[in-house]
Amino acid sequence: MDQPRLPFGGKTMVFGGDFRQVLPVIRKGTRSQIVVASLRKSYIWESMTHLKLVRNMRAQSDPWFAGYLLQNKDGTEKTNSGGEIRLPNEVCVPYTGSDIDLDGLIDCIFPRLDENMSNTSYITSRAILSTRNDWVDMINMRMIGRFQGDQMVYHSFDSAVDDPHNYYPPEFLNTLTPNGLPPHILKLKIGCPIILLRNIDPVNGLCNGTRLVVCGFQRNSIDAEIVLGQHAGKRIFLPCIPLCPSDDEMKQFPVRLSFAMTVNKAQGQTIPNVGVYLPEPVFSHGQLYVALSRATARSNIKILAIPAIDGASKKKKNKNNKKKKQEENILTISDGIYTKNIVYKEAGTPPTLLATYCLHTPGCQEIRPNGSDNKGAQPLKTKQRNIKRRPKFPHIAVGK
Ligand SMILES: Nc1ncnc2c1ncn2[C@@H]1O[C@H](COP(=O)(O)OP(=O)(O)OP(=O)(O)O)[C@@H](O)[C@H]1O
């Protein structure tokens, strides 16, 4: 480090990010705590050079969809009187409030599943996203039920630390599915997709979020193949590991089924066929935008969302009258489906400042200094402008 008194020892650092996507997760955090945790509010922000990425590379085949996402991302999409945004009818699966709606969504995203169960690219090019872990688990259970083949069930072994009176029996512990931990009962079949929940061996591609397909089972290991990214095609054996470093008793394979995953887990991924399941409206900044922007075109996304009832009809709504509520919902469908979109404007840029800092559109690639870009595409146009720097942090730069 040349200059230890400067941030990062005076080295040039490149940061990437998109303030319209899901922000850092602050447990039970308030809106202001969440916003303050983002880089945008860091004291070094004003010292950075900001690059604005302007072209959506992921959705380049569907300019209408790219434009729609941009409006959605900035919270400028047409809204109803309740402030909800309209989802185009062509991407919506009809919502009736019945349990079979979800089967309709599954059929759209996983058509002819029986014929394609051994087709790895079919299995890994589609996923259903939802906001809550319990809905994701429910969809995964439904999907593994539809999947053909022998089933292997792995149980975790739980015990509570420092519990001499056995107040927390294993039966109770096994009902808990905390975030980031594998389920107590892991049901797998050959050919089903799984996602890794731990960084086991990053050098060999085994990181939190790596997607794999199950190839075989042993008592103490799972035989799986990495299916996406630079390590695609690598066959590995996943071990059963202690889930807490201080507790050897609680062991499970660090994986979950990935027919469905949470919107937060899907951030950063491109999913050629996306289903979005919203039995309740989104609850945090950027969730709807991240879910929609995993798709490459409007023809590749289907959304099952509880329709928001327009502000005017909300007042008339009789909460105790379920039938009436359903009728109102169905009426809303014929008028297009509206759903809640949460955009914390203070986490991004006021429109007047857009040119002065980086607005990162989904799927954009940064400019390479020599004008070359990856994947053979033309260099992107960006707007770059050095904003007023504090002289004491001269080396800090920001990308995205
Ligand atoms: N220059 C390019 N030419 C063609 N395709 C590109 C280019 N850059 C990116 N893509 C494609 O766009 C998609 C998204 O790229 P990437 O994941 O790098 O974007 P990202 O900015 O991380 O997206 P997000 O933040 O929304 O997840 C990928 O499918 C990638 O292949």
Are residues 176 and 254 located together in one domain of the fold?
yes
Atom 17 (ligand 1): residue with closest C-alpha? 363
Measured in Å, residue 239 CA sits from the centre of ligand 1 at 32
Confirm whether 377 is domain-assigned. Answer: no
The answer to whether the pTM exceeds 0.80 is no
Q: Which of 364, 367, 382 has the most ligand 1 atoms within 8 A of CB, as the residue to mutate? A: 364
Q: Which amino acids bring their CB within 6 angstroms of ligand 1?
A: 18, 57-58, 268, 270, 293, 362-365, 373-375, 377
pLDDT of residue 268: 86
Kindly tell me if the per-residue pLDDT of 15 is higher than 70.
Answer: yes
Confirm whether 313 is domain-assigned. Answer: yes
Q: Mean pLDDT, to the nearest integer, of 371-382? A: 36
Are residues 95 and 81 located together in one domain of the fold?
yes
Confirm whether 117 is domain-assigned. Answer: no
- For 191-230, what is each residue's pLDDT tens digit? 999 999 888 889 989 988 899 999 998 878 899 999 988 8
pLDDT of residue 370: 37
Measured in Å, residue 361 CA sits from the centre of ligand 1 at 10
Cβ(167)–Cβ(211) under 8 Å? no
Report residue 107: phi and psi, to 5°.
-65, -35
Q: 115 Cβ partners below 8 Å, 6+ apart?
A: none
Measured in Å, residue 18 CA sits from the centre of ligand 1 at 13
Choose one of 258, 293, 317: the last residue of a domain. Answer: 258
**CA proximity to 253, closest of 332, 155, 387, 340:** 155
Are residues 186 and 215 located together in one domain of the fold?
yes
Confirm whether 111 is domain-assigned. Answer: no
Confirm whether 286 is domain-assigned. Answer: yes
Are residues 70 and 7 located together in one domain of the fold?
no
Confirm whether 384 is domain-assigned. Answer: no
Are residues 339 and 276 located together in one domain of the fold?
yes
Q: Reduced to 3 DSSP states, what percent helix, strand and coil does the chain have, rounded to the nearest 5?
A: 30, 20, 50
Measured in Å, residue 362 CA sits from the centre of ligand 1 at 7
Tokens at residue 155, please? 């149980």
Are residues 17 and 67 located together in one domain of the fold?
no
pLDDT band at 4 (very low <50, low <70, confident <90, very high): confident
Cβ(396)–Cβ(47) under 8 Å? yes
pLDDT band at 164 (very low <50, low <70, confident <90, very high): low
Range of the domain at 72: 63-102+264-346
Confirm whether 113 is domain-assigned. Answer: no
Are residues 174 and 249 located together in one domain of the fold?
yes
Q: Which ligand 1 atom is the nearest neighbour of the CA of 400?
A: 21
Are residues 249 and 154 located together in one domain of the fold?
yes
pLDDT of residue 305: 93
Measured in Å, residue 22 CA sits from the centre of ligand 1 at 17
- For 120-155, what is each residue's pLDDT tens digit? 999 999 999 999 999 999 999 999 999 988 888 887
Are residues 247 and 321 located together in one domain of the fold?
no
Least confident interval from 20-29, 114-123, 322-331: 322-331
Are residues 174 and 195 located together in one domain of the fold?
yes
Are residues 299 and 357 located together in one domain of the fold?
no
139 Ramachandran zone, left/alpha/beta (phi>0; psi -120 to 50): alpha
Q: 143 Cβ partners below 8 Å, 6+ apart?
A: 106, 110, 192, 257, 259, 260
Domains: count for the chain:
3
Are residues 242 and 272 located together in one domain of the fold?
no
